[in-house]
Chain A
Amino acid sequence: MNAIVFSALWGVVLMFVGAFVKSRGSVKYIAIAGAILGLVLSGMELYSGLPLFNIDKTDMLRTGNFSLTFICIVYICTLVLFLLNGKDFEKIGNHVAEYFALIFFVLCGVSLCATFDTLLLLFLGIEIMSIPLYILTGSEKSNLKSNEASLKYFLMGAFSTGLLLMGIAFIYGANSNGSFYLEHIQPGKEHLTVMMTVGIVFMIVALGFKVSAAPFHFWTPDVYDGAPTVITSFMATIVKVGGFIAFIRLFEGSFGAIQKDWQILIVILTVLTLLIGNITAIFQQSVKRMLAYSSIAQAGFMLLAIFALNGPAKEGLLIYSAAYSLATIGIFAILIKLNDYTIDGFNGLARKEPVMAFAGALFLFSLTGIPLTAGFTAKFYVLLAALQNGHYQWLVVVAVLFAATSAYYYFRIIQAMYFKEPAENRVFTDEKIPASFKFMLLVTCALILIIGAYPEIIIGWLYH
């Protein structure tokens, strides 16, 4: 609850900062302070179990260790993003404070998605998360691609919102309690009515849009490619895992008992997402677009957690959120600094910028799932969860074969960085890479290695 109130408040604070503070450079420090404060407040709530504010008079929210751990992970990732790329927000346009303000509003939506206990708040959470993003995507006003992306995202988003609302309406109508609470809408084991089925299918489709699961992924590559790269980095990581947390909380809270009825739909989504994400990623020449498809591919793995819906699945989703977000934010941070976004643009980076290349290689190892990185632990947990579930065990084999495929496109960047020669007089970056940026990259690497070797630091919070 701390996080919901705080992030909304801090967003407002940042808007005022935009009006009153003249120096653009100082805005990012306020945003960084906000991310730290948010982390501290959520950490306090996780530690003590007591929120500072009690806004929830009618029990429409449910905070538990799971939600709070997730919110902490989100704040840590946001903080890492700000520390790595805070300066790059200034390149988007003139309204730096507003961009940060909108990001804090998105965080408010993500926190709602992690704590809702009724369908109404789920809807609010998803919308609060999406609407600022439509603006952020189009924030590079003079760039045609950015405008196109924004419009596309808005139209698709509105469509999926409609489906979500319709699904909520059907589910509301189907249960006899006349209630939106998750525990009240649970359908009975025997009679799954037509209305309920339609409602659940609509929910899966709508949430599938939000987490860009195939075949509802068509907006993703264009939007991620068109949006300013810092925003893409934020959108592909924190917002996406926000969608997943809403997904798992809804299905665990309401439809866990009838898992076998909807499981086949998730299986189809998973296979399609893995297939389309991985195969299309292989053919990309632009790293930014490749990362867009890789985010679809990784979503396929996270869908395995929704498929399994058991203890390890929840732990796995938490670790996956952290692992995937940190590694993706890291690789985007390196990409932002480069002039050339094609894979050849990475040629010979190791010679010129050994720290950036090392960090990049580690992030890519983590995305591939090499042991001792967080990515491995994450994949390990979701595989464990899916196998423990006991149904559709071939799905796991499909998943790891696609994980091996993903090595193909991730390692192409490593090959470019380490084994290829740069073109004559190649200039990688216009600006000088500051030492603080390299230091932050190494900190991110350390985080990934720590989560990889000691996932207890995330899992432990769930049980204490």
Chain B
Amino acid sequence: MGTFITFPELLVWLPFLAGILCFFIKKENAVRQIALFTTLIILAVSVASLAYTGKEYYAYNNVVYYWLKYLGASLYFGLDGTGKLLTLLTALAYPLIFASSYRKNIKDASSYYGLMLLCMSGIMGVFVSMDALLFYFFWELALIPAYFLCSRWGAERRIQTTFKFFVYTFAGSLLMLIGIIFVYLHTPARTFSDGTFVSHSFVIDSFYQAVLTPNQQNWMFWLFFLAFAIKMPVFPFHTWQPDTYDQSLTPTTMVLSGIMVKMGLFGVIRWLFPLFPQASEHFSKIVIILCVAGMVYASLLAMVQDNLKKLVAYSSIAHIGLMCAALFAMNEISVKGVMVQMFSHGINIIGMWMIVEFLERKVNVRKMSELGGIANKAPVLTIFTVLIVLANIALPLTNGFVGEYMMFSGLFIYGKWYAIAGLVCIILAAVYSLRMVRQIFYGETSPASANMTDLGIYEKLVFTIVIVAIFMIGIYPEPFFELTKEAVKILMLKAI
């Protein structure tokens, strides 16, 4: 297989081709089936790729094509530990998203699923690019379908909100483009394997060898970091996020919040730290302060939200803030924690959105004050919700606990006040999450929730998968550490 076609290629091209195909199929049911089926195949590919990790399988995971060779760029796909972790998350999230919205009535479904799959292809591309220019290409190309997804489908104010989101991220990525070109101009000469000599190169190894003065590093750090910070989003670049999550269709929001935000964290791990180690350390304090401030701010705002979608959106800012802070604490335990948490957060937040999605479909209300007493009507949903919420606030035995515990330990080593401020947020998270559960599921049955029904057998199955994933990682996170061991080790070597 290795010489014929490689895992990263499959991960990028399969969703791409399926996405194009979807545009031309007019039967809605067929489109849904194709989309779900393709993502299941991709999940299988991704799981299979886990079995082929290690140096001896290099040819299975890496491939280079020539493209823009005279510039020193190439189509270089590679799948390392971090890449595998995040492609697995993407590959697992998509079938869940498609399955949970399978019964949703989406107008013009063929375009919707087509764009979703194109977006998936872009995201996969970001995770497997081993060439800076290619990385930038995919980074932007993941955004374009997202722009259409958010503007075409959703609530009334979607167009303006999405526009803000787009202009924000576009400005960020263009600044990163300057950074990429600047670093490129400082890379050493390189000879490609076919003998082509180029004076500079975009290949990741060359980028890692780029020689920059400390002053240049500082500038470049901000150019790259802004793009990643907007994508994550880190306070104060988060203003696009709550509105966009609120206004888009819930499956779209799942992609944005579950997977796309990981692109920002991934960017920090793959590009920012190794390229500018000194600058990263130099500015780590500012970044961590921003992250922690953002956590407190988002948690406080989440406390007063009545809109269910906005509550989840703000809680997501708080979670991402913690991950980013732990990443910049730059010690082994926190980085390991981030790796696991990136995966766990994806699963948990998609679980949360699945609840929102189900409620929205059944009672068509997203204001919590109008809901109540659903536990009587839908006991199974209540159990699943409580479990997912507990994972979200990181109770032991759930996946959230593993990551957050390690991240806090790391943050504590870095500076105890940051960790304490972060812990306050965890308590706040418990407050607003449990308040949400109480308000929606317990108390008097409100008129809006009178005709609520419980999960069908099909939904139960989907929720069960999420719950199983939550506990599997919570109880036995070892495989994830194993998978990212190499990446963490390299990162620690580079950072110090």
Residues of A participating in the B interface, judged by any CB pair closer than 8 Å: 365, 368-372, 380, 383-384, 387-388, 393, 396-397, 400-401, 403-404, 407-408, 411, 415, 418-420, 455-456, 459
Whether, in the assembled complex, B358 has its beta carbon less than 8 Å from a beta carbon of chain A, the answer is no
5 closest cross-chain pairs (CB), A and B: A404-B171, A400-B174, A371-B137, A371-B140, A419-B151
Whether, in the assembled complex, B163 has its beta carbon less than 8 Å from a beta carbon of chain A, the answer is yes
Cβ–Cβ contact A407 & B167, under 8 A: yes
Residues of B participating in the A interface, judged by any CB pair closer than 8 Å: 68, 70, 136-137, 140-141, 144, 148, 151-152, 159, 163, 166-167, 170-171, 174-175, 177-178, 181-182, 184-185
**With A and B bound together, what is the CA distance between A396 and B167 in angstroms?**
18
Task: Supply 22 A–B pairs (Cβ within 8 Å), ascending by A.
Answer: A365-B144, A370-B140, A372-B137, A383-B177, A383-B178, A383-B181, A384-B181, A384-B185, A387-B182, A393-B182, A397-B178, A400-B171, A400-B177, A401-B174, A403-B174, A404-B170, A407-B166, A411-B163, A415-B151, A418-B151, A418-B152, A419-B151
| Overall SS of chain B's interface | helix
Residues of B within 8 A of A387 (CB): 178, 181-182, 185
**With A and B bound together, what is the CA distance between A426 and B152 in angstroms?**
21
Cβ–Cβ contact B68 & A455, under 8 A: yes
Tell me whether A388 and B185 are in contact in the complex, defined as CB-CB below 8 angstroms, given that A408-B167, A456-B68 are known contacts. Answer: yes
| Minimum C-beta distance from B334 to chain A (A) | 32
Cβ–Cβ contact B171 & A401, under 8 A: yes
Residues of A within 8 A of B178 (CB): 383, 387, 396-397, 400
Tell me whether A419 and B159 are in contact in the complex, defined as CB-CB below 8 angstroms, given that A388-B185, A407-B166 are known contacts. Answer: yes
Cβ–Cβ contact A418 & B175, under 8 A: no
Of all chain B residues, the one with the shortest Cβ separation from A404 is B171
Residues of B within 8 A of A380 (CB): 177, 181
Given contacts A401-B174, A420-B159, 13 further A-B contacts (CB under 8 A): A368-B170, A372-B141, A380-B181, A384-B184, A387-B178, A397-B178, A400-B175, A401-B175, A404-B170, A404-B171, A407-B166, A418-B148, A455-B68
| Minimum C-beta distance from B182 to chain A (A) | 6
Residues of B within 8 A of A384 (CB): 181, 184-185
Cβ–Cβ contact B167 & A404, under 8 A: yes
**With A and B bound together, what is the CA distance between A403 and B177 in angstroms?**
12
| Minimum C-beta distance from A313 to chain B (A) | 13
**With A and B bound together, what is the CA distance between A411 and B175 in angstroms?**
19
Cβ–Cβ contact B166 & A411, under 8 A: yes
Cβ–Cβ contact B163 & A415, under 8 A: yes
Residues of A within 8 A of B148 (CB): 418
Cβ–Cβ contact A371 & B136, under 8 A: yes
**With A and B bound together, what is the CA distance between A371 and B166 in angstroms?**
15
Cβ–Cβ contact B170 & A407, under 8 A: yes
**With A and B bound together, what is the CA distance between A371 and B67 in angstroms?**
14
Of all chain A residues, the one with the shortest Cβ separation from B151 is A419
**With A and B bound together, what is the CA distance between A407 and B185 in angstroms?**
27
**With A and B bound together, what is the CA distance between A365 and B167 in angstroms?**
13
**With A and B bound together, what is the CA distance between A403 and B170 in angstroms?**
9
Of all chain A residues, the one with the shortest Cβ separation from B160 is A415
Residues of B within 8 A of A418 (CB): 148, 151-152
Residues of B within 8 A of A368 (CB): 170
Residues of A within 8 A of B174 (CB): 369, 400-401, 403-404
Residues of A within 8 A of B152 (CB): 418-419
Residues of A within 8 A of B170 (CB): 368, 404, 407
Cβ–Cβ contact B181 & A397, under 8 A: no
| Minimum C-beta distance from A434 to chain B (A) | 23
Of all chain B residues, the one with the shortest Cβ separation from A415 is B159
| Minimum C-beta distance from B175 to chain A (A) | 6
Residues of B within 8 A of A419 (CB): 151-152, 159
Residues of A within 8 A of B140 (CB): 370-371
**With A and B bound together, what is the CA distance between A126 and B185 in angstroms?**
36
| Minimum C-beta distance from A362 to chain B (A) | 11
Interface centre among A400, A418, A455 (most CB of B within 10 A): A400
| Minimum C-beta distance from A285 to chain B (A) | 17
Residues of B within 8 A of A371 (CB): 136-137, 140-141
| Minimum C-beta distance from B198 to chain A (A) | 13
| Minimum C-beta distance from A55 to chain B (A) | 35
Cβ–Cβ contact A456 & B167, under 8 A: no
Of all chain B residues, the one with the shortest Cβ separation from A412 is B163
**With A and B bound together, what is the CA distance between A408 and B163 in angstroms?**
8
Residues of A within 8 A of B185 (CB): 384, 387-388
| Minimum C-beta distance from B280 to chain A (A) | 21
**With A and B bound together, what is the CA distance between A380 and B180 in angstroms?**
11
**With A and B bound together, what is the CA distance between A371 and B122 in angstroms?**
12
| Minimum C-beta distance from A119 to chain B (A) | 34
| Minimum C-beta distance from A399 to chain B (A) | 9
**With A and B bound together, what is the CA distance between A368 and B184 in angstroms?**
23
| Minimum C-beta distance from B146 to chain A (A) | 13
**With A and B bound together, what is the CA distance between A393 and B179 in angstroms?**
11
| Minimum C-beta distance from B75 to chain A (A) | 11
Cβ–Cβ contact B175 & A397, under 8 A: yes
Residues of B within 8 A of A459 (CB): 70
Residues of A within 8 A of B144 (CB): 365, 370
| Minimum C-beta distance from B218 to chain A (A) | 14
**With A and B bound together, what is the CA distance between A383 and B181 in angstroms?**
8
**With A and B bound together, what is the CA distance between A456 and B137 in angstroms?**
17
Of all chain B residues, the one with the shortest Cβ separation from A397 is B178
| Minimum C-beta distance from A229 to chain B (A) | 28
Of all chain B residues, the one with the shortest Cβ separation from A365 is B144
| Minimum C-beta distance from A421 to chain B (A) | 12
**With A and B bound together, what is the CA distance between A459 and B171 in angstroms?**
28
**With A and B bound together, what is the CA distance between A387 and B141 in angstroms?**
24
**With A and B bound together, what is the CA distance between A397 and B171 in angstroms?**
10
**With A and B bound together, what is the CA distance between A204 and B185 in angstroms?**
30
**With A and B bound together, what is the CA distance between A388 and B177 in angstroms?**
14
| Minimum C-beta distance from B115 to chain A (A) | 11
Of all chain B residues, the one with the shortest Cβ separation from A452 is B137
Of all chain A residues, the one with the shortest Cβ separation from B134 is A371
Interface centre among B141, B144, B174 (most CB of A within 10 A): B174
| Minimum C-beta distance from A279 to chain B (A) | 14
**With A and B bound together, what is the CA distance between A408 and B181 in angstroms?**
24
Of all chain A residues, the one with the shortest Cβ separation from B143 is A370
Residues of A within 8 A of B141 (CB): 371-372
**With A and B bound together, what is the CA distance between A383 and B159 in angstroms?**
31
Residues of B within 8 A of A383 (CB): 177-178, 181
**With A and B bound together, what is the CA distance between A383 and B180 in angstroms?**
11
Residues of A within 8 A of B136 (CB): 371
| Minimum C-beta distance from B362 to chain A (A) | 28
Of all chain B residues, the one with the shortest Cβ separation from A459 is B70
Of all chain B residues, the one with the shortest Cβ separation from A385 is B181
Residues of A within 8 A of B182 (CB): 387, 393
Residues of B within 8 A of A404 (CB): 167, 170-171, 174
Residues of A within 8 A of B70 (CB): 456, 459
**With A and B bound together, what is the CA distance between A393 and B151 in angstroms?**
36
Residues of A within 8 A of B163 (CB): 408, 411, 415
Of all chain A residues, the one with the shortest Cβ separation from B133 is A380
| Minimum C-beta distance from B154 to chain A (A) | 10
**With A and B bound together, what is the CA distance between A371 and B182 in angstroms?**
18
Of all chain B residues, the one with the shortest Cβ separation from A383 is B181
Residues of A within 8 A of B171 (CB): 400-401, 404
**With A and B bound together, what is the CA distance between A371 and B134 in angstroms?**
10
Residues of B within 8 A of A411 (CB): 163, 166
| Minimum C-beta distance from A291 to chain B (A) | 20
Residues of B within 8 A of A455 (CB): 68
Of all chain A residues, the one with the shortest Cβ separation from B169 is A404
Of all chain B residues, the one with the shortest Cβ separation from A420 is B159
Residues of A within 8 A of B151 (CB): 415, 418-419
| Minimum C-beta distance from B183 to chain A (A) | 10
**With A and B bound together, what is the CA distance between A404 and B170 in angstroms?**
6
| Minimum C-beta distance from A308 to chain B (A) | 12
Of all chain B residues, the one with the shortest Cβ separation from A312 is B71
Residues of B within 8 A of A372 (CB): 137, 141
